[in-house]
Amino acid sequence: MNEIAARWAAATKGPWRVGNGEKESFYTGDNTVVSTNRVIVERAIYNNPHFDNQTIADIAAIAAAPTDIAFLLQRLAALREMLRKHVIEEWTKFDLLGRGRQMYQCQVCGEVWSDKEKHASHCEYAKLLEEEE
C-alpha cells in the first residue's frame, strides 16, 4: 500500500488524459498520454488496426491510472479505517456465563476472546490490517 502510494506521489500529478491534437495536449494525438504540463507517454501508431487498437486501449488505461488509483487508495483507506474500527475498537463486551469474567466478541469474525491483543494475532481481519500497513 505505502509503496503504491509513494510511487504515485512521485509520478507527474494527474489528471492525465489522452491527447486530442489541441494545444493543451501539446498538439499530440490519441497515441499520447498528457498532463497539463507534459507528455507522459507517446506511442507509435503503425496503421495496423489490431495492434493500434490495443495501443489505444493501453493508452486510455494509462491516462486513467492516476485518477483511478487515487480513487482506489482513498476507498481502500476508508474501508481499512472501518475494518480497523470494527476489529480493534468496537468489541461487544460481556460477562461470560455470569461468572464475572470479561470477554469480548469481535464484531467482524464473531470470535470471543478475553484478550484483545491475542485475538488480533488470530483474527483474519486483524491480520489483513497488519499486512496492509
Number of residues near Zn ion (by CB under 5 A): 4
The strand pairing partners of 94, in sequence order, are 103
How many degrees, rounded to 5, is the angle at CA 107 between CA 116 and CA 95? 60
User: What are the respective helix, strand and coil percentages of the chain, to the nearest 5?
Assistant: 55, 15, 35
| Calpha distance 78→23 (Å, rounded) | 38
Site for Zn ion in 15-74 (CB under 5 A): none
The single residue among 18, 40, 63, 106 that binds Zn ion, judged by CB under 5 A, is 106
Site for Zn ion in 108-127 (CB under 5 A): 108-109, 123
Confirm or reject binding of residue 129 to Zn ion (CB under 5 A).
no
Confirm or reject binding of residue 83 to Zn ion (CB under 5 A).
no
Q: Supply the minimum distance, in Å, between the C-beta of residue 88 and Zn ion.
A: 9
Name the grid cell of 108. 467482524
CB-wise, 34 or 106, nearer to Zn ion? Answer: 106
The binding site for Zn ion (CB under 5 A) comprises 106, 108-109, 123
